[in-house]
Amino acid sequence: MDEQRFHKEIEHRYGKNCHILDDPYMLSLLAELCMPQTKQPRLNHLLRVLYEGLLRVVINNEFPRKMRTVTTRMGAEYRAELIDPSTEVVTVDIARAGIMPSMVCFEVLSSILDPKLVRQDHIIMQRTTDAHGSVTGATISGTKVGGTIASKIVLFPDPMGATGSSLCEVLKYYRENAAGKPKKVITLNLIITPEFVRKVFREEPDVIIYAYRVDRGLSPPDVLAKVPGEEWDRERGLNDHDYIIPGAGGLGEVLNNAEV
């Protein structure tokens, strides 16, 4: 597929595999999602709309197409380059914040592709922290993986791309337990940090990142005035407990009314 894009992206210096969308409508909805007064059921509604939009961009830009001919109700033929319905996809639910995003992707993909070729896997994870509450990594406590990922597009719809530890740990798990090389690995994040991008590309350089926003709110003012990634080593989007600033809070807890 050529480099034609069907959306606008912000300028940045994070590399060609990182796509940060320039979409004022979706950014407005995301801003509402992050507000403390936004509660259920509005949260789930916003999350669904945001992920339907993000997945549409990913499908348009990353999924294979083929020439197809269909017969309309008028008895005439319509021929065009459309999404290839034989595309095999796995969407991975990283609990807890990823449960609904992955389900939204599963439903949308099943409506445009052959449903038999769309799979949803489930990964139960939790952060590991040190005595000071800082994140040291992530551990997997349970899985439901439906087979190989060989030659499939593998999606990770996880709202907050904070440290990158969870994604890297899950990809390691798949390499060791789901034989085969995927066609593509794509993350779908609402918000990412410079730290997330750095860790993911350092450990998994072939991953493709799609996000609505990069949060680097703890960076010095002179860095914030520059193009994202221009002074990447001075950018900071995580506080001392590895929560995103400005961010959305602990979204997994918020979405499930399980704040602690």
- Token couple for 5: 């894009």
- Specify whether the CB–CB gap between 53 and 28 falls below 8 A: no
Question: Left (φ > 0), alpha (ψ -120 to 50) or beta: where does 153 sit?
Answer: beta
Rounded to whole angstroms, the Cα distance separating 135 from 214 reads 20
Model pLDDT, residue 1 = 41
Helix (H, G, I), strand (E, B) or coil at 43: helix
Taking all residues of the chain, what is their mean pLDDT, rounded to a whole number? 93
The mean pLDDT of 140-168, rounded to a whole number, is 93
The mean pLDDT of 144-170, rounded to a whole number, is 94
pLDDT digits (tens, 9 = 90+) for 173-187: 999 998 789 999 999
Helix (H, G, I), strand (E, B) or coil at 186: strand
Domain ranges of the chain: 18-63+82-255
Find the range with the poorest average confidence among 122-131, 163-172, 233-242: 122-131
The candidate with the shortest Cα–Cα distance to 188, out of 40, 20, 22, 27, is 20
Higher per-residue confidence, 234 vs 139: 234
State the burial class of residue 152 (Cβ atoms within 10 Å of its Cβ: 0-12, 13-18, 19+): buried
The mean pLDDT of 109-118, rounded to a whole number, is 98
- Specify whether the CB–CB gap between 99 and 93 falls below 8 A: yes
Look up the pTM and report it.
0.93
| Matching CATH number, 18-63+82-255, of 1.10.260.30, 3.40.50.300, 3.40.50.2020, 3.40.50.620 | 3.40.50.2020
- Specify whether the CB–CB gap between 173 and 123 falls below 8 A: yes
Rounded to whole angstroms, the Cα distance separating 215 from 56 reads 23
